[in-house]
């Protein structure tokens, strides 16, 4: 018995304790497992929270073109907002400062984004028609301002071209206005988008991005500057340190980040945007509404050549080309200037009214819409104005010809938008300064490419 015990003791004494390296390895593996479990639980919590936020923050309506998700913020003149790429209805929160200035923002999620379904052929013309269907469903009969940021530009431009009778003005901020990416757009950023929309990274990447933007805001601002501006890396590091000191910039950064996650619910829309933007070539000659366009000179994602392309084809646009901080237009003090200029543009063009409001004596009773008829001094043509509608009649023994359209008034300017002026003139908006005195309407040419109409309109009109 004692011999067995001795052998047992001897065998036991030969067992070696694990080395320090092995113990460190085991503890490291255990620690890594714990970190992964905590990370996974944190990710799933974040995912549930973000999905709940998205599903409770908007409404879905069924239009004549199908379901569309949208958000409505504020009260006042309506701004239809075409959101940036990789976002959705929640991109509107970035522009919430405009609601404080008395405007209402309606932001639909474009096809493929969040809860607006993507259908075959959902190009930018389709998206413009979907916007119109949404306004019809919401019973918004007034003219709206259509505003766009980044890759929201094409849909907004198409809406303004196709629905001038529903558009009071077009507002473009660092927006795509023609083919994207062009030779001057940052090709690396286009490739980055392709990486970001791969199935492997999507929401895990967004989760890390969300944590990083809250814990390391300077780093996130630096990355936005590197990716979206022409600043070198050292400059981005210095500038980002200065920007994050501003509380408003920090708040806007959080709103921007929130409007891009989770990416998996925005991927289809982003891919669709890139697909149709590659051949985007709008007929800007048909754009006949007031325009305000702004762009940063150092934008590396949507190069300011998009700005140049647009203003060369729409010379009457109100323009603002500034330095800023690239494509992240919400960074720095220029953001306040952008909001102020946007508000000024809206206020200026919200003042349009009917001829009755200009001529109080002619204003009809509330339950009665009257007409004012003016006779042209040179050829006897009749200009009949009824509320916001007009007709231009050329009487003859054969019955004559009539052209119809809408008339808007802004202070001392008249804007004539013809539905179809074929056989008479082009259908561009004709803009004239006017004065009414002693039942005589005098028009002074401001913008009208049609010589025949200029000669006729400036000849003078008397009321009958």
Structure confidence by residue, pLDDT tens digits, 49-76: 999 999 999 999 999 999 999 999 999 9
The pLDDT assigned to 124 comes to 98
The pLDDT assigned to 387 comes to 77
Place 306 in a pLDDT band, splitting at 50, 70 and 90. Answer: very high
Phi/psi at 342 (nearest 5 deg)? -65, -45
Q: How far apart are CA 350 and CA 143, in angstroms?
A: 9
Residue 365 has pLDDT above 50, yes or no: no
| pLDDT-above-90 percentage for the chain | 59
- DSSP for 60-124, written as a single string: EEEETTEEEEEEEESSSSEEEEEPPTT--GGGGGGGTHHHHTT-EEEEEPPTTSTTSPP-TT--H
Mean pLDDT score, 109-113: 98
Residue 400 has pLDDT above 60, yes or no: yes
Mean pLDDT score, 345-357: 69
Residue 208 has pLDDT above 80, yes or no: no
Q: Where is pLDDT greater, at 235 or 200?
A: 235
Least confident of 19-28, 122-131, 281-290, 450-459: 19-28
The pLDDT assigned to 397 comes to 66
| pLDDT-above-70 percentage for the chain | 87
The pLDDT assigned to 293 comes to 98
Of the CA atoms within 13 Å of residue 366, those in its CB half-sphere come to: 0
Place 183 in a pLDDT band, splitting at 50, 70 and 90. Answer: low
Residue 210 has pLDDT above 80, yes or no: no
Sheet harboring 104-108: ordered strands across?
Answer: 59-63, 66-73, 104-108, 78-82, 144-149, 167-173, 291-296, 318-322
The pLDDT assigned to 24 comes to 78
What confidence tens digit (pLDDT) does each residue in 187-198 have? Answer: 454 444 444 444
The pLDDT assigned to 195 comes to 42
Domains of the chain are 52-350 (3.40.50.1820), 356-463 (2.40.128)
Q: Specify which residues 417 forms β-bridges with.
A: 406
Place 354 in a pLDDT band, splitting at 50, 70 and 90. Answer: very low
The pLDDT assigned to 37 comes to 86
- DSSP for 386-426, written as a single string: ETTEEEEEE--TT--EEEEEEEEEETTEEEEEES--TTTS-
Of the CA atoms within 13 Å of residue 223, those in its CB half-sphere come to: 11
Residue 333 has pLDDT above 70, yes or no: yes
The pLDDT assigned to 420 comes to 76
The conformation of residue 278, written as its DSSP 8-state character, comes to T
Place 408 in a pLDDT band, splitting at 50, 70 and 90. Answer: confident
**Where are the strands (E) in 300-371, listed by range?**
318-322
Residue 363 has pLDDT above 60, yes or no: no
The pLDDT assigned to 21 comes to 77
Contact by Cβ (8 Å): 126, 116: no
The pLDDT assigned to 448 comes to 87
Least confident of 178-182, 335-339, 394-398: 394-398
Residue 402 has pLDDT above 70, yes or no: yes
Phi/psi at 60 (nearest 5 deg)? -120, 130
Mean of all residue pLDDT scores within the chain: 86
Least confident of 100-104, 327-331, 351-355, 427-431: 351-355
What confidence tens digit (pLDDT) does each residue in 70-103 have? Answer: 999 999 999 999 999 999 999 999 999 999 999 9
Phi/psi at 216 (nearest 5 deg)? -125, 70
What confidence tens digit (pLDDT) does each residue in 123-157 have? Answer: 999 999 999 999 999 999 889 999 999 999 999 99
The pLDDT assigned to 356 comes to 45
Q: Where is pLDDT greater, at 263 or 396?
A: 263
Q: How far apart are CA 54 and CA 259, in angstroms?
A: 9
CA 28 vs CA 23, 31, 35, 143: distances in Å: 8, 5, 10, 64
């Amino acid at each position: 018995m004692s011999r067995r015990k001795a052998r047992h003791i001897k065998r036991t004494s030969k067992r070696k304790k694990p080395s320090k390296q092995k113990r460190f390895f085991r503890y490291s593996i255990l620690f890594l497992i714990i970190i992964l479990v905590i990370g996974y639980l944190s990710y799933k919590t974040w995912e549930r929270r973000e999905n709940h936020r998205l599903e409770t923050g908007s409404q879905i309506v069924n239009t004549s073109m199908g379901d569309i998700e949208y958000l409505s913020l504020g009260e006042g003149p309506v701004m239809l907002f075409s959101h940036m790429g990789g976002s959705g209805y929640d991109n509107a929160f970035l522009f919430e400062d405009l609601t404080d200035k008395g405007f209402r923002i309606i932001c639909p999620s474009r096809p493929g984004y969040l809860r607006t379904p993507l259908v075959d052929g959902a190009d930018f013309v389709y998206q413009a028609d979907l916007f119109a269907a949404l306004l019809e469903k919401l019973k918004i009969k007034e003219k709206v301002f259509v505003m766009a940021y980044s890759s929201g530009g094409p849909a907004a431009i198409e809406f303004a071209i196709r629905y001038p009778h529903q558009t009071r003005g077009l507002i473009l901020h660092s927006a795509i206005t023609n083919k994207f990416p062009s030779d001057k757009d940052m090709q690396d950023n286009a490739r980055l988008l392709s990486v970001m929309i791969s199935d492997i990274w999507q929401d895990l990447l967004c989760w890390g991005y969300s944590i990083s933007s809250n814990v390391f805001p300077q780093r996130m601002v630096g990355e936005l500057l590197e990716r979206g501006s022409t600043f070198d890396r050292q400059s981005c590091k210095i500038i980002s340190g200065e920007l994050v000191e501003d509380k408003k910039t920090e708040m806007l950064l959080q709103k921007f980040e929130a409007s891009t996650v989770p990416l998996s619910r925005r991927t289809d829309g982003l891919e669709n945007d890139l697909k149709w933007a590659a051949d985007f070539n709008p007929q800007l000659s048909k754009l006949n509404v007031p325009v305000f366009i702004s762009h940063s000179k150092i934008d590396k994602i949507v190069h300011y050549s998009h700005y140049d392309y647009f203003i060369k084809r729409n010379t009457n646009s109100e323009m603002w080309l500034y330095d800023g901080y690239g494509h992240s237009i919400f960074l720095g003090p220029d953001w306040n200037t952008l909001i102020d200029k946007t508000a000024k543009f809206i206020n200026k063009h919200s003042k349009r009214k009917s001829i009755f409001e200009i001529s109080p004596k002619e204003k009809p009773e509330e339950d009665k819409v009257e007409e004012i008829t003016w006779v042209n001094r040179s050829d006897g043509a009749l200009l009949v104005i009824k509320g916001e509608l007009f007709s231009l009649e050329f009487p003859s023994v054969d019955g004559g010809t009539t052209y119809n359209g809408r008339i808007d008034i802004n202070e001392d300017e008249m804007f004539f938008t013809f539905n179809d002026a074929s056989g008479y003139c082009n259908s561009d908006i004709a803009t004239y300064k006017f004065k009414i005195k002693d039942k005589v309407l005098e028009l002074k040419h401001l913008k009208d490419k049609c010589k025949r109409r200029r000669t006729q309109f400036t000849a003078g009109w008397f009321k009958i």
